[in-house]
Structure 1
């Protein structure tokens, strides 16, 4: 009886350690991915992206799109912070391991093209942009600053971590409306439903 008790205890401890280690591993990798995004290291970001994404949008094209978005003469985009807040349990489907990553992101948009315009025009533009962003992210999550013509957006979001035997380590794919079709084609519905809705 004592041996059975000891065996069960060891098993429970090992399961607990495994669950903890996958969350720690995903958190560490996701934080590196977000740090690359914050520092605009696009090659680093793309290295952590789930490679099947590149079958639909070539890597070079995605990098060019990122560079264009972050170097626009009209608007400067900066990530002030990206922090992992939670990692779900794992779910394995057809030999591929999935987890959901919940994170908080703070992004700053500075409207460079408006800086030399009259103050009244600046205010009208910034008010319009704030209302637009309020609709998407909630008024409480958008702060405007006319002094430097910027909006700071605070958002809670999710992405999927994927460990596929075909690739090395954990890879990631964003879970947002813009990526919905792509995510739906890569992440099984059972995974999306269970990992996002139960956390």
Structure 2
């Protein structure tokens, strides 16, 4: 009996250490991915994206879309910080490993207004945009910076990590409304349900 208890204890410690190692690996990889986002290194971001996505939306097309979104004529978007808050255990299906990464993100949206606009007009526009963003992210998560004509948005987000033997290393796929159709077609529903309920 004593030997049996020792065996189970060793097994438990081994499984726990492996799980911790996986979570540390995914946190490190996620932070590298976030660094590319903060620095707007879109090639780096796309290198981390799950390649099956490019079968539906060509890589070059996605890069152009990112460049346009982050550097539009009337608005500039910056990610100021991204912090991993939780990494789930992995789930396997058909030889592919999946995990979910939960994180907090701080984004800055700067509106590039015309010089001839009055301060009152600028403030009115910023307050309108603030109210619009608050309906999406919640009142307490959106703050204005009138001097820079910016909104600072704090949000919670999720992405899926995928380790597919076809490709090298872990790849990521954002779990948001913009990617919903692609996520649903690439990640089996049973896997999505299992991973997201762990939050």
TM-score by length of 1: 0.96
Closer, same or farther in 2 for the Cα pair 1:191/1:116, shift >3 Å? farther
Which region of structure 1 is more displaced relative to structure 2, 4-13 or 50-59? 4-13
SS at 1:40 equivalent? coil
Contact conserved, 2:160 with 2:173, CA < 8 A, in 1? yes
Aligned residues of 2:113 and 2:122 also touching (Cα < 8 A):
no
Match of 1:147, SS?
helix
Residue 30 of structure 1 is matched in structure 2 by 30
- Counterpart of 1:76 in structure 2 is 76
Q: Tell me, yes or no, if the aligned pair for 2:141 and 2:153 is still in contact at 8 Å.
A: yes
Which residue does 1:180 correspond to in 2?
180
| Matching of residue 90 in structure 1 with residue 93 in structure 2 | no
Aligned to 1:113, the other structure's residue is in SS state coil
Residue deviations 1:9-30, cap 9 Å, x none? 2211111111111111111101
Whole-angstrom CA distance in 2 between matches of 1:79 and 1:114: 24
Can you list the C-alpha shifts for 1:138-188, whole angstroms capped at 9, x where unaligned?
A: 010000121111100000010100111111111000001111111000111
Q: How does 1:109-124 map to 2 (within 5 A)?
A: 109-114=109-114, 116-124=116-124
CA-atom RMSD in angstroms: 1.2
Does the Cα contact within 8 Å between 1:87 and 1:102 map onto a contact in 2? yes
What TM-score does the superposition give when structure 2 sets the normalisation length?
0.96
Assess if the C-alpha contact under 8 Å between 1:78 and 1:107 holds in 2.
yes
How far has the Cα of 1:116 moved from its partner?
Answer: 4.3
Q: For each residue in 1:33-57, what CA deviation from the matched residue of structure 2 results, as whole angstroms up to 9, or x when unmatched?
A: 0111011111110010000010111
Question: How do 1:119-138 residues align onto structure 2 when only pairs under 5 Å count?
Answer: 119-138=119-138
Helix, strand or coil for the counterpart of 1:86?
Answer: strand
Structure-to-structure mapping, 1:1-199, within 5 angstroms = 1-114=1-114, 116-199=116-199
Counting matched residue pairs gives 199
- What 5-or-longer segments of structure 2 have no aligned partner? none
Where do 5+ consecutive residues of structure 1 fail to align?
A: none
Q: Once structures 1 and 2 are overlaid, which stretch shifts more, 167-176 or 63-72?
A: 63-72
What is the CA–CA distance in structure 1 between the aligned matches of 2:116 and 2:161, rounded to whole Å? 43
